[in-house]
Amino acid sequence: MGTTKILISGMRRGITPLLAKFLKRRSAIEPEIGHMKSDGRLARCPLKGRIGDAVFAVLCACGHNIRKILAHIRALWALLLHLIAVTTWRERPLHR
C-alpha cells in the first residue's frame, strides 16, 4: 500500500521544490474556481452524466475567460476614449 502524506498549512519540512510549485499553482487557481462557481453557475450542472459534467466545466471556463477578455477590452476602450477626449480638448481653440 502507498503512504499518504498530510500537508498542514505553514508546514516547511518535507516540502520539495516541485510540491511547493504545485501548491503555489493551486493557490492561484482556487480563486478562479470560486468565481466560476458563483459567476459562471458552475455549482449547478444541467448536463447529464460524467461527460456532461466535463463539458459543462469546460464551457464555464470558456465563459469565464471571455468575461475576463471583455473586461480588459472595456478598460482599454475607456482609456482610448479618454485619451481622444483629452487630445481634442487641448487642440480646440478658445472662442471668446
Task: List pLDDT tens digits, range 16-55.
Answer: 788 778 777 777 777 777 777 776 677 777 778 888 888 8
pTM summary value: 0.57
> CA 56, CA 64: separation in Å to the nearest integer?
12
Q: What is the pLDDT of residue 53?
A: 83
DSSP single-letter state for residue 86: H
> CA 70, CA 14: separation in Å to the nearest integer?
43
Domain range list for the chain: 17-91
